[in-house]
């Protein structure tokens, strides 16, 4: 006979609430340039004209995991989802003319806590450096409030900033560049917050005039960085998304008179794109990163578009700005025209097939009409590795169990856990998902399951009472019980020895210990059980009388397998 007493004791320690779904929806809504915007929610881009942001360059925007707009910024002000100035959302020390601003969610507090990174611009001699603000969307009915702002992270800093998802899939690397040295600064953002002590990687070209301008972008797989420095070279690097270290500097030469500003990678990480804007041409180029050696990559250069550029009056020039991968898999390229065709500014360029080589990538200078708004040099600066970011909630411990005498089968049903430990209450532990534990004595045991992931821990404890029954017959014995056919389809016969008397109960359990079938008295020497409503699987037949419990394993199969 068995007794089972359950007392639930739950100890919940949730250090974070990390939510990882397919992250493309976080980039669904764009606001940038001079009142421009694009909505990618339906898969077909739709121009937006209701934005409050007007900027020459810096633009950052983010949506929630369902694709709903949360807020956006130019590094000077922050607007909420209703296009109103967020509470405490003004007087940021960024600059409307800095190249990049960036919004990054705090791991574990998705759709709640966000970091906004922004830097000062050359026009202000970079005097305010790289700083950040913290936005909490729990305030003001979900419209948010800036709870910290203008926190200095580094001085002096260039205008460049990007982010890469950590190799663990949970955290982020924030990557910036020093303005006085050839050093990258990599900061780790975790569920515990921002580590303000950077990992420093010193390599590449030493800063020069206008070096501070231009974009810094990562490949979608997080393994490469490309940096524009308003020179005739793209700086290409390897990035270790486990350690945050930048390495292997390469200079990809574009041409002798380039002023490279915008750079980005194709979605499949095989192509590098660059936008140029100075005398004698404004141009867009593609490079094949799989071409071979560095010289092979340089030789793979394909000119996708070009317009003459002159500084003689009247100025006639086109400057290509930011380049950003969108949720539709295309790359959108900003351009600003000076004295050429002002109506050109009403369009944003589109690379329609960015994974394709050469001109087959199908660049269209008039790719998308902005419904009367303009880009200047601005597109949103988004986290490109968002497209590979997957995440989970903080772990939640749960388990069930079934008892047969002193043998207990435990079944882990926790969610979002990547590590677990069992404590059986008798000094024995285990780390497998579904252990089977044998208790040596009758008693009450406090069984605990502890589960973890990178941002949290949770535990669940249950008390179980074990009463060891010594008179259990676990093998099939024709002198006691005969069960046939076994495996069975829809019917099962039970024949009992006439010496098996005073039957109290006949029950069928599944492997979880749940009652599936209860046979009511009277009990005869030969009985027929109807199994039609039972699913195929393994079950246990329990026959209890005054002398003990007789157990037989039975197998239910589909009729089609019965010959």
Q: Pairing between strand 456-466 and 7-13?
A: antiparallel
Say if residue 156 is preceded by a cis peptide, omega within 30 of 0: yes
Q: What's the CA gap between 259 and 320, in Å, rounded?
A: 9
pLDDT of residue 312: 60
Q: What's the CA gap between 523 and 501, in Å, rounded?
A: 10
Same domain flag for 369 and 504: no
What residue numbers bound the domain in which 398 lies?
7-15+394-466
Average pLDDT over residues 383-408: 76
User: Is 547 part of any domain?
Assistant: yes
Same domain flag for 165 and 306: yes
User: Is 82 part of any domain?
Assistant: yes
CATH number of the domain to which 522 belongs: 2.60.40.3080
| Integer CA distances (angstroms), 241 to 1, 165, 175, 322, in order | 58, 7, 11, 24
Query: Which of 423, 450, 466 marks a domain boundary?
Result: 466
Share of the chain above pLDDT 70, in %: 87
Same domain flag for 366 and 424: no
Sign for the CA dihedral angle at 211, 215, 221, 222 comes to positive
Average pLDDT over residues 142-156: 97
- Number of domains forming the structure of the chain: 3
Establish how many alpha carbons lie within 13 A of residue 389's alpha carbon, considering only the half-sphere containing its beta carbon: 27
User: Is 237 part of any domain?
Assistant: yes
Query: pLDDT for 68-78, tens place per residue?
Result: 999 999 999 99
Q: What's the CA gap between 246 and 134, in Å, rounded?
A: 26
pLDDT of residue 22: 40
Query: Which of 388, 422, 441 marks a domain boundary?
Result: 388
Window from 224-238, 446-460, 475-489 with minimum mean pLDDT: 475-489
Same domain flag for 556 and 439: no
Q: Grade residue 367 by pLDDT with cuts at 50, 70 and 90.
A: very high
Same domain flag for 371 and 505: no
Average pLDDT over residues 382-399: 72
Phi, psi of 199 (to 5 degrees): -85, 125
Q: What's the CA gap between 303 and 286, in Å, rounded?
A: 7
Query: Which of 448, 466, 484 marks a domain boundary?
Result: 466
Question: What are residue 507's DSSP bridge partners?
Answer: 518, 542
Same domain flag for 357 and 420: no
Average pLDDT over residues 152-178: 94
User: Is 482 part of any domain?
Assistant: yes
User: Is 1 part of any domain?
Assistant: no
Q: Grade residue 314 by pLDDT with cuts at 50, 70 and 90.
A: low
Cβ-based neighbours of 247, under 8 Å, separated by 6 or more: 201, 203, 237, 238, 239, 240
CATH number of the domain to which 427 belongs: 2.60.40.10
Same domain flag for 425 and 454: yes
Q: Which of 94, 33, 95 shows the shortest CA–CA distance to 61?
A: 33
* Burial 350-381, CB ≥16 within 10 A → b, else e: bbeebebbeeebebbbebbebeebbbbbbbbb
Residue 475 has pLDDT above 50, yes or no: no
Same domain flag for 401 and 490: no
Same domain flag for 353 and 421: no
Same domain flag for 494 and 416: no
Residue 393 has pLDDT above 70, yes or no: no
User: Is 2 part of any domain?
Assistant: no
User: Is 496 part of any domain?
Assistant: yes
Q: Pairing between strand 472-473 and 548-556?
A: parallel
Residue given tokens 């089977």 in the structure block: 436
Same domain flag for 331 and 376: yes
Q: Grade residue 96 by pLDDT with cuts at 50, 70 and 90.
A: confident
Q: Grade residue 546 by pLDDT with cuts at 50, 70 and 90.
A: confident
Same domain flag for 124 and 150: yes
Q: Does the model's pTM come out above 0.85?
A: no
Residue given tokens 């601005």 in the structure block: 378
Q: What's the CA gap between 119 and 159, in Å, rounded?
A: 6
Query: Residues 71, 78: contact at Cβ < 8 Å?
Result: yes
Q: What 3-state DSSP class applies to 328?
A: coil
What would the two tokens of residue 81 be? 């989802």
pLDDT, greater one: 287 or 419: 287
Q: Grade residue 21 by pLDDT with cuts at 50, 70 and 90.
A: very low
How many helices and strands, by DSSP H and E, does the chain display? Answer: 1, 42
Average pLDDT over residues 514-535: 84
Q: What 3-state DSSP class applies to 400?
A: strand
């Amino acid at each position: 006979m068995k007794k089972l007493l359950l007392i639930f004791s739950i100890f919940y320690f949730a250090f974070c609430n990390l939510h990882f779904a397919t992250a493309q929806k976080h980039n669904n809504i764009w606001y940038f340039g001079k009142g421009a915007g694009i909505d990618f929610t339906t898969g077909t881009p739709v121009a937006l004209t209701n934005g409050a942001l007007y900027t020459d360059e810096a633009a950052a925007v983010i949506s929630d995991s369902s694709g709903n707009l949360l807020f956006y910024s130019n590094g000077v002000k922050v607007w909420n989802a209703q296009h109103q100035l967020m509470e405490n959302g003004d007087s940021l020390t960024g600059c409307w003319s800095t190249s990049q601003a960036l919004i990054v969610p705090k791991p574990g507090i998705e759709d709640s806590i966000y970091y906004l990174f922004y830097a000062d611009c050359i026009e202000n001699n970079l005097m305010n450096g790289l700083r950040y603000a913290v936005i909490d969307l729990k305030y003001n009915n979900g419209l948010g409030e800036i709870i910290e702002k203008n926190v200095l992270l580094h001085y002096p800093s260039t205008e460049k900033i990007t982010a890469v998802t950590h190799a663990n899939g949970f955290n982020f690397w924030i990557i910036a560049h020093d303005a006085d040295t050839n050093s990258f600064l990599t900061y780790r953002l975790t569920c515990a917050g921002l580590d303000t002590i950077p990992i420093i990687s010193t390599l590449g070209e030493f800063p020069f005039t206008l070096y501070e301008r231009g974009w810094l972008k990562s490949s979608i797989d997080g393994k490469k960085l490309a940096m524009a420095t308003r020179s005739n070279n793209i700086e290409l690097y390897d990035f270790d998304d486990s350690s945050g270290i930048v390495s292997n500097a390469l200079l990809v030469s574009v041409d002798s008179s380039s002023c490279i500003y915008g750079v980005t990678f194709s979605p499949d990480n095989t192509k590098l794109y660059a936008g140029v804007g100075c005398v004698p041409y404004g141009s867009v180029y593609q490079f094949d990163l799989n071409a071979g050696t560095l010289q092979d990559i340089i030789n793979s250069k394909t000119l996708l578009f070009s317009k003459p550029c002159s500084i003689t009056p009247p100025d006639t020039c086109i400057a290509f700005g930011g380049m950003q991968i969108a949720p539709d898999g295309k790359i959108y390229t900003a351009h600003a025209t000076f004295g050429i065709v002002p109506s050109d500014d009403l369009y944003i360029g589109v690379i329609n097939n960015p994974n394709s080589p050469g001109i087959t990538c199908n660049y269209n200078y008039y790719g998308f009409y902005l419904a009367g708004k303009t880009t200047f040099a601005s597109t949103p600066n988004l986290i490109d590795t968002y497209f590979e970011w997957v995440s989970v909630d903080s772990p939640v411990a749960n388990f069930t169990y079934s008892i047969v005498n002193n043998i207990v089968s435990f079944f882990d049903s926790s969610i979002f856990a990547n590590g677990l430990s069992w404590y059986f209450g008798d000094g024995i532990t285990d780390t497998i998902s579904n252990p089977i534990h044998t208790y040596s004595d009758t008693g009450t045991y406090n069984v605990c399951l502890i589960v973890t992931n990178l941002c949290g821990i949770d535990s669940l404890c249950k008390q179980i009472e074990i009463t060891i029954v010594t008179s259990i017959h676990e093998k099939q014995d024709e002198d006691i019980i005969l069960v046939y056919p076994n495996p069975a389809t829809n019917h099962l016969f039970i024949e009992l020895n006439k010496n098996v008397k005073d039957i109290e109960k006949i029950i069928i359990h599944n492997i979880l210990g749940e009652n599936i079938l209860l046979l009511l008295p009277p009990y005869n020497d030969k009985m027929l059980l109807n199994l039609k409503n039972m699913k195929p699987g393994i079950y246990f037949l329990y026959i209890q009388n005054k002398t003990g419990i007789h157990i037989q394993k039975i197998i239910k199969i589909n009729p089609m397998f019965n010959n």
